Chains A and B, each alone.
Chain A
C-alpha cells in the first residue's frame, strides 16, 4: 500500500544516506578543524523570534499553535536561530565565536524544480569578527569545504549587499519605486529594470549606470570597471570589495572567487559582503551567505558576523555530476 507524503518532502534510503553521511562528515571535519563547534537548535521556534530576524523574507511559511495558544514556526534557515542562541547562551563569551551546523530547514517553495520544502543545510557562523578579516575567514572555510566535497570546479561569487540600496539613495529613489527596482535586480530582470528605473524618473545616464553595474562580474578588473562608472555608492562598495579581494589574494585563495556586482541575496538581513556558490555541473545555486552585521543587534547584542550555508543535497548532486563527467561510461 502506498501512503503519500507532502509535496517537497522525501524519504532517504540507505544507499543515498551512506553518501550523504560521508559528505556531511567531510564537511563537519573541515568546520571542526578550523575551530567551528557544531550546534543543533530546535526545528520549531516561537514565530516572534524568527520574525525578528527578517519579518519580510525569512519568515516561516509553516506556522501553527501549540496547546497554550503560542504561535510556533518551522525555521526557514539556521542563521536566525543561531543569532537567537548566541544572544541567549553566549552573551558573555569571548569573541569571535565559531559555530557550525548541519540541519534541516523548511520553505514553501514550489517543488519539482531542484528545490525541496524540507532541505538540509551545512554551514558556519562566525560571530564577532568584522570585515574584511571575518569575511576572508569564512570564504577560506567555504573553499576548504568545497574541496572536501570534491567540487574543485566550483566558483564563489562575491558581491555587496549595500551597493544598490546606497546607489538608489544617492539617486534619491525611495519607497515603492525603490522596492520595485531592488525586486527587478534580485530576479535579474534587466528589461523590467530599465522600465522601472525610467519610471522612477532617473536620467538616462543613471539608468545606464545601474544596468551596467548589474552586469559586471569577473576578476579584479571588474572593480576598476565599476570605479570608472563613479559615484559614492559605487566607490564605497568597490573599496569594501577591493579590501576583501586583496586580502584573499594575499592569502592565495582568490583564484576561485569572482567579483560580482550583480549579486543580490533575497534574505533581508545581509549587509556588506554577500556570497553565492556555483558549480558548472548543475544549473542551481549550491549555497550562499555573507555578512549580517546588523542582525545580532535585533537580538540585543551588537556584533558583526558572517556565515555561509550549502544545500547538502545539491552539493551531493553536483558531486555525482562531476564524477560522471570525469569517468564517462
Chain B
C-alpha cells in the first residue's frame, strides 16, 4: 500500500534542511546512503576541516555521533543520522526515529575474559557483578530486565582495558567484528541488542517541514532497501 507524501502547504521553512552527519565509524556509510539518496556529499568527502557544508536544499553538519540526538532534539539540526546504540543510551531525548538505515551493524554485548569465571563468581558470592562500560544506561536497563544487580563503572576510553587490570568483572560494549575483544583475550558472553544506523528527526521539523523530510525519508528508504 502506498500513501502519497503529505504536503505542508503554507508552512514557511527557514533555509535548507539541516542534516546532522556522524563523524567516525558511521561516516563513510552515511555518506554512501546520502549519495544514493541524491544528496551531494562531495564537500564532506574532501579535505576541508569545516564542520558545516551548505548544499542545495540540504546543509550537512558534521559532529560526534553521540551529539546528534542533542542537536536534533533542540532543533539546531532538523534531521540526523546516528547509531541505535547512541539513541538507546540517550533514550530520554525526544527525537523521532524514522528509519533503520541498516548499515553500521554491530552488537552490544556483555564480554568477559576468556576462561575467567569472575562474572559468575561475583554474581554468586557478592550478589552483583561489576561492569565497566561506556553505555551505563543500556547496561543498567539490560541487567535490570534480566533480574540481576550490577555496579556499572562508567569509563570514557578503551573499555577492554578495564577487566584486564581488575576494574570490573566484565564489560558491556559495542562489537563490530570482534577483533578488539579477541586481541585483548576477551570473549562475548551475552548479546544484548543489535544496533544499526538510524535516521532521526526533530519533532517540530517533522511537522513543519513534512514534505521535505518525507521525501528524504522515502529516498533513504529506497537507497537502503535490502
CA distance A260 to B207 in the complex (A): 8
Contact B97 A188 (CB under 8 A): yes
Interface string of A211-240 (1 = CB under 8 A from B): 010011111011001001100000000000
Is A48 part of the binding interface, using a Cβ–Cβ cutoff of 8 Å?
no
Q: How far is the CB of A155 from chain B (nearest CB, A)?
A: 6
**How far is it, in angstroms, between the C-alpha of A297 and the C-alpha of B119 when the chains are bound?**
54
Is B23 located at the chain interface by the 8 A CB criterion?
A: no
Closest CB of chain B to A281's CB: distance in Å? Answer: 7
Give the contacts of B1-36 with A (CB-CB under 8 A).
1, 3-4, 6-14
From 177 to 198 in chain A, residues with beta carbon under 8 angstroms from any chain B beta carbon are: 187-192
Closest to B196 in A: A191
Q: A188-B203, A217-B207, A221-B7 are in contact. Are A229 and B1 (CB under 8 A)?
A: yes
B208 partner, pick from A228, A278, A284, beta carbons under 8 A: A278
**Interface size class, chain A:** 35 or more
Q: Point out the residues of chain B lying under 8 angstroms from A34, CB to CB.
A: none
Q: What chain B residues lie within 8 Å of A219 (beta carbons)?
A: 7, 9-10
Which chain B positions have C-beta within 8 A of A114?
A: 74
| B75 CB–A CB distance under 8 Å | yes
Which chain B residues lie closer than 8 Å to A283 at the CB level? 73-76, 202-205
Alpha-carbon gap, A278 to B3, bound state (A) = 25
Give the CA-CA distance A209 to B2 in the complex, in Å: 10
Tell me if B214 is interfacial: C-beta within 8 Å of chain A: yes
Inter-chain contacts of B207 with A (CB < 8 A): 155, 157, 217, 258, 260, 276, 278
User: CA separation between A97 and B73, bound complex, in Å?
Assistant: 38
Contact between chains at A280 and B14 (CB < 8 Å): yes
Chain B interface size, under 10 / 10 to 19 / 20 to 34 / 35 or more = 20 to 34
State the majority secondary structure of interface residues on A. Answer: mixed
Residue of A nearest to B210 (CB): A217
Find chain B residues with CB under 8 A from A170 CB: none
Q: Which residue of A lies closest to B94 (CB)?
A: A187
Residues of chain A contacted by B6 (CB below 8 angstroms)? 215-218, 221-222, 225
CA distance A312 to B92 in the complex (A): 23
Cβ-based interface call for B53 (8 A): no
- With both chains docked as a complex, state the minimum distance between the C-beta of B197 and any C-beta of chain A, in angstroms: 11
Name the residue of chain B whose CB is nearest to the CB of A194. Answer: B100
Nearest chain B CB to A271's CB is how many angstroms away? 22
Known A188-B203, A216-B6; further 16 A-B contacts with Cβ < 8 A:
A187-B96, A205-B1, A208-B1, A212-B1, A218-B7, A219-B7, A219-B10, A221-B6, A221-B7, A222-B6, A225-B3, A228-B3, A255-B10, A283-B73, A283-B204, A284-B203
A interface list, Cβ under 8 A from B: 110, 113-114, 153, 155, 157, 187-192, 205, 208-209, 212, 215-219, 221-222, 225, 228-229, 255-256, 258, 260, 276, 278-285, 325
Instruction: Give 9 closest A-B pairs by Cβ, nearest first.
Output: A283-B75, A218-B6, A188-B96, A212-B3, A189-B97, A278-B204, A191-B100, A283-B74, A208-B1
A-B contact pairs, 14 of them (CB 8 A): A110-B92, A155-B208, A187-B94, A190-B97, A192-B97, A212-B3, A217-B8, A217-B210, A218-B7, A219-B7, A260-B207, A278-B207, A280-B13, A284-B204
